Structure 1
Amino acid sequence: MIVDRIEASVFGTNCYVLAPQEGAECVVVDPGVGVEDRLADVLRRRRLKPVAVLLTHGHVDHTWSVTPVCGAHGVAATIHADDAYRLHDPVPHLGGPLRAALEATTGPVRWRDPDDVVTVQDAERWSGAGLELTVAHAPGHTEGSVLFAVQRPGAADLVLSGDVLFAGSIGRTDLPGGDPVAMRRSLLEKVLTLPDDVDVLPGHGPATTVGHERATNPHLVGLR
C-alpha cells in the first residue's frame, strides 16, 4: 500500500494519500492549508486518481483545501454527519491569530463550500480505490471526529486518527464542540480496544502504534 504524507503550511496538519499501488485510484485525507501543489505533484508522480476526500473532522486546518481538491477531481468530501456543518463557511468564526496565520500563507481568506458532501456514521464500512475502511465515531475533539481504520491484507490495520490521538498526546477538548467526557469515552472504547500492532497516522506529528501509545502516552496510561 502507498501512504504518502504531506505536511500543511500552517499548523503542521498531516494530509495523507492512500492507494493500493502506483497507477491506481486513491483517497486523500485531510487536505489542509497550502497542500494543493504538493498533492498534485504526488498524484502526478505516483500516477494516482483520487476517488474521494476523507475528513477526520471539520476543523479548518484539516479542511482548508477540501473544496479545490474535490473540485479538481470531481469527487465528494466525506465527513461524519455531526461535523458536516463545519464545511459551511468557517471564515466568520476564525479567531484573530488563526485568521492571521492563514492570511500569511493564503492571502485574503475566502471560502467556498464543497459542492458534494457525503456523510458517514459510526461503524459504517467505506470502500473505494481498492481500499476497505471502517469508520469509528470518536467525539471529544469535535462532535464528529472519527478514526478511519484501513484494512491491509497480510498486515496490521492502519488507523487515521485525526486529532483524536497523537504520538504522546491527544486532541484538545477546550475548543467549541469539544467534550472531555466524550474524549475519555472515545479513548476507552475506540482507541484502547485496538490491537497493539495497529499503525496510527495522526493529524499532526509523527506516526506511532497503538501499543506504543498504550504504554507511554500519559493520557492513556492507566486509563480505565
Structure 2
Amino acid sequence: MLVTGFPAGAFQTNCYILAQDDATECVVVDPGQEATEPLVEFLDKTGLTPTAVLLTHGHLDHTWSVAPVCAKYSIPAYIHPEDRYMLSDPLRGTGAALAAMIGDATFTEPAEVIELADGDVLELAGIRFEVDHTPGHTQGSVVLRTMAATEDGPVQVALTGDTLFAGSIGRTDLPGGDHEQLLRSIAAKLLVLGDDTAVLPGHGGASSIGQERASNPFLVGLDGSR
C-alpha cells in the first residue's frame, strides 16, 4: 500500500494520501492550510482519485482545505461529531489566537459529512480503517488504524493526528482540551498496540509505538490499564 504525505501551510500539518498498490482510488487524511494545490498536483501526477477525506480532529490546521478538496472531487468528509462544529466555526475550537490569520476567510462544511464513532470500520478505496476515539487534544479526536505491507510483512499503521507525536503529545490548552483525558486515551487506545505499529502523526516525523513507549517523556508510567 502507498502511504505518503507532505507538510502543508504555516502549521506544517501532515496531509496523508493512502492507496492500494496499482489502485486508481485513494483516501486523503487531514488536508490543512495550503494543502489543495500540492495535493491536486500529486493526484494528477499519480492518476489517483480520492474517494473520501478522513479528519483526525476538527482543528483548522487539519481541516482548512477539506471543503474545497471535497467539492473538487465530489467526495464526503468523515469527522467525529464532537468536532464537527469546527468545520464551519473554527474559532470555537482554537479561541481568538487564530483570528488574525483567518482574516476574512469563511469556512463551511463539505456538502456531505459522515460522522465517525469509536469502533467504526471503514472500507474506502479498498483500504480497511479502524476508528479509535481518543479525546483529550479535542473531544472529537480519533486515531485511524490500517495495515500496510512491507518487506518484513504486514505492519499496522496508526494515523494519530495530534493525539501522539514523535517524542511528544498533543496540546490541551485549547477549548475542549483535557490533559488527563488525553493520557487515558493514549494508554487505552495506543499503548495497547504492538511495538512495531507505525505512528504517522499530524505534525513532525514518523515513529513507532515501541519507540514512544520507550522514550516519550510524556508517557512515563502509562500503560494499557490506565
- TM-score (normalizing by structure 2): 0.92
| Aligned counterparts, 1:116-131, within 5 A | 116-131=112-127
Partner of residue 50, structure 2: 50
Structure 2, unaligned stretches of length 5 or more? none
Q: Counterpart of 2:133 in structure 1: which amino acid?
A: H
Q: Counterpart of 2:208 in structure 1: which amino acid?
A: T
CA distance in 1, matches of 2:6, 2:48: 15
RMSD: 1.6
Q: State which drifts further: 79-88 or 184-193.
A: 79-88
In the TM superposition, what is the alpha-carbon distance from 1:113 to its structure 2 partner? 2.1
- Tell me if the contact between 1:141 and 1:183 (Cα under 8 Å) persists in the aligned partners: yes
- TM-score (normalizing by structure 1): 0.93
Partner of residue 133, structure 1: 129
- Tell me if the contact between 1:91 and 1:111 (Cα under 8 Å) persists in the aligned partners: no
Structure-2 change in CA distance of 1:93 and 1:149 (3 Å): closer
Q: State which drifts further: 116-125 or 144-153.
A: 144-153
Q: Counterpart of 2:17 in structure 1: which amino acid?
A: V
Look up the SS of the partner of 1:195 in the other structure: coil
Q: Counterpart of 1:174 in structure 2: which amino acid?
A: D
Tell whether 2:82 aligns with 1:113.
no
- Tell me if the contact between 2:87 and 2:107 (Cα under 8 Å) persists in the aligned partners: no
In the TM superposition, what is the alpha-carbon distance from 1:92 to its structure 2 partner? 7.0
Partner of residue 177, structure 2: 178
In the TM superposition, what is the alpha-carbon distance from 1:43 to its structure 2 partner? 0.4
- Tell me if the contact between 1:122 and 1:136 (Cα under 8 Å) persists in the aligned partners: yes
Tell whether 2:70 aligns with 1:70.
yes
Structure-2 change in CA distance of 1:99 and 1:21 (3 Å): farther
- Tell me if the contact between 1:139 and 1:183 (Cα under 8 Å) persists in the aligned partners: yes
Partner of residue 218, structure 1: 217
Identity %: 49
Q: Counterpart of 2:13 in structure 1: which amino acid?
A: T
CA distance in 1, matches of 2:69, 2:140: 21
| Aligned counterparts, 1:1-224, within 5 A | 1-91=1-91, 95=95, 97-102=97-102, 108-153=104-149, 154-224=153-223
In the TM superposition, what is the alpha-carbon distance from 1:86 to its structure 2 partner? 1.6
Look up the SS of the partner of 2:203 in the other structure: coil
CA distance in 1, matches of 2:180, 2:158: 22
The superposition leaves residues 136-175 of structure 1 with CA deviations (integer Å, 9 ceiling, x where unpaired) of 0000000010000012354111110000000000001111
Q: Counterpart of 2:105 in structure 1: which amino acid?
A: V
Structure 1, unaligned stretches of length 5 or more? none
Q: Counterpart of 1:125 in structure 2: which amino acid?
A: V
Look up the SS of the partner of 2:195 in the other structure: coil
Structure-2 change in CA distance of 1:193 and 1:22 (3 Å): same
In the TM superposition, what is the alpha-carbon distance from 1:94 to its structure 2 partner? 5.8
